[in-house]
Amino acid sequence: EAGVTQFPSHSVIEKGQTVTLRCDPISGHDNLYWYRRVMGKEIKFLLHFVKESKQDESGMPNNRFLAERTGGTYSTLKVQPAELEDSGVYFCASSQGGGRGPRNEQFFGPGTRLTVL
């Protein structure tokens, strides 16, 4: 079974440019999450999709970040325009169920390392 995949693995862009990160969850997983770790900080939650709907976007830092999940399959996270402080590693995770059950562990992708110059 294929795991969570993310593309690209690395991205280097200049300040003010736009970058789009992609995440393909494990097939059949309705729940998709985005997290990120910026330099020297802890891994932080960004948002949570259930199928194509945003369940929780409380962690999105500002309106330069836009996440979508078309058709409830893959998801994209767009940063426009990118700023220096957006540099870090962006992780995607998926889980089969959600809600209040404790057994729905999240499977993480390898992350996308974003560098904004």
Partner 1 sequence: DAKTTQPTSMDCAEGRAANLPCNHSTISGNEYVYWYRQIHSQGPQYIIHGLKNNETNEMASLIITEDRKSSTLILPHATLRDTAVYYCIVRVLQGGGNKLTFGTGTQLKVEL
Give the number of other Cβ atoms within 10 Å of residue 33's Cβ.
Answer: 25
Q: Which of 17, 22, 30, 108 binds partner 1 (CB under 8 A)?
A: 108
Stretch that binds partner 1, among 14-22, 67-75, 80-88, 108-116 (CB under 8 A): 108-116
117's tokens = 């110059």
CB of 16 to partner 1, least distance (A): 28
Residue numbers at the binding site for partner 1 (CB under 8 A): 4, 31, 33, 35, 42-45, 48, 50, 55-56, 58-59, 91, 93, 95, 98-100, 102-111
